[in-house]
Amino acid sequence: MDGNVEREWFSVIVEVTGDGAAELVADAAWTLGAPAVEERVGPQGAISVVTGFADAATAHRLVEEVRTRSLGTARVETVTDLGLDAWRAHARPESAPPFVVVPAWLDPSDLPGVPLLIDPGHTFGSGSHPTTRLVLSRLATLLQSAGSAPHRVLDVGCGSGVLAVGAALLGASAVGIDIDPGAGPATLANAELNGVADRVTFDPRPLADLAAHVRRGRCGEGFEVVVANLLAPVITELADDLFEVTAPNGFLVLSGLLADRWRATVDALPTGRRVIHVDREADWVAVTLG
């Protein structure tokens, strides 16, 4: 990786207005290929979404989208920093019991927990975000309490593959899917890094295709555990297919939901499943449906 090459970076700062606008802005940024999106809460509770792109045109497309959808006020700042990989120098191990998510270039020995080595490249899923850690811990509890039979896990929006690899380290076989073209290679490389390449696959098809397979009975009854660390609008959009790919006695773990708004998202989901766990860290929750 050319981690220390100095280059221009187009940071987009959006001061959002209105309920749910932050999630819509973040969703738009992910869709445009942002490698990271951060939500900041100001002293008076004002919310801003900060993201960035390697090219000015994409940054301005996001600004335009914010303007036409009246999501807030947006500006672009040109930053010259050490490049997209500058964050690597500051990355540190993150605890998500029973795991410790370790940047692949650091030494995992002497850290408490099951080491989960991750190099996210430019995908999402370094383990530094609460939404990832919440799912890792819940996944471990679900798989461990379900006994020793092999389990099939689907990771929808796998990014770096951190959740799929975590599931495989616990003995499950895991399939990752994602719309980001970088996610497949990253997931498979991280599986290899952790010695679980035989239990992790990446499926390039969209979720709707997998759901159709399950409907036609070509994929058994579905996956015993489905994890989806997405944003609320994406969860809403994919809800029918997420339910379809989850086996009747399986669990669906939804993350990326804001603590003060998760209920509205979950209430609007299809019926037939009930909330059995709500795990929270900072402003985020992961909701498990059984």
Ligand X SMILES: C[S@@+](CC[C@H](N)C(=O)[O-])C[C@H]1O[C@@H](n2cnc3c(N)ncnc32)[C@H](O)[C@@H]1O
Q: In angstroms, what is the minimal distance from the CB of 27 to ligand X?
A: 8
Q: In angstroms, what is the minimal distance from the CB of 258 to ligand X?
A: 13
Measured in degrees and rounded to the nearest 5, phi and psi for residue 225 equal -135, 130
Decide whether 82 or 237 has the Cβ nearer to ligand X. Answer: 237
In three-state secondary structure terms, 14 is strand
Q: In angstroms, what is the minimal distance from the CB of 131 to ligand X?
A: 6
Neighbouring-strand partners of residue 155:
176, 227
Decide whether 82 or 122 has the Cβ nearer to ligand X. Answer: 122
Q: In angstroms, what is the minimal distance from the CB of 245 to ligand X?
A: 12
Binding site for ligand X (CB under 6 A): 30, 123-125, 132, 135, 155-159, 162-163, 177-180, 183, 207, 229-230, 234, 238, 256
Q: In angstroms, what is the minimal distance from the CB of 33 to ligand X?
A: 8
Q: In angstroms, what is the minimal distance from the CB of 159 to ligand X?
A: 3
Q: In angstroms, what is the minimal distance from the CB of 174 to ligand X?
A: 11
Q: In what order do the strands lie in the sheet with 114-118?
A: 94-96, 99-103, 114-118
Instruction: Give me the residue whose beta carbon is nearest to ligand X.
Output: 157
Q: In what order do the strands lie in the sheet with 275-281?
A: 200-202, 173-177, 152-156, 223-229, 246-258, 284-289, 275-281
Decide whether 17 or 261 has the Cβ nearer to ligand X. Answer: 261
Please list, residue by residue across 102-115, b when 16 or more beta carbons sit within 10 angstroms of its beta carbon and e when fewer do.
bbbeeebeeeebbb
Q: What is the DSSP letter of 179?
A: S
Distance CA(161)–CA(167), nearest Å, equals 10
Cβ(285)–Cβ(248) below 8 Å: no
Decide whether 12 or 235 has the Cβ nearer to ligand X. Answer: 235
Decide whether 71 or 183 has the Cβ nearer to ligand X. Answer: 183
Decide whether 82 or 104 has the Cβ nearer to ligand X. Answer: 104
Distance CA(120)–CA(117), nearest Å, equals 10
Decide whether 178 or 279 has the Cβ nearer to ligand X. Answer: 178
Q: Which residues contact 261 (CB under 8 A, 6 or more apart)?
A: 19, 20, 23, 232
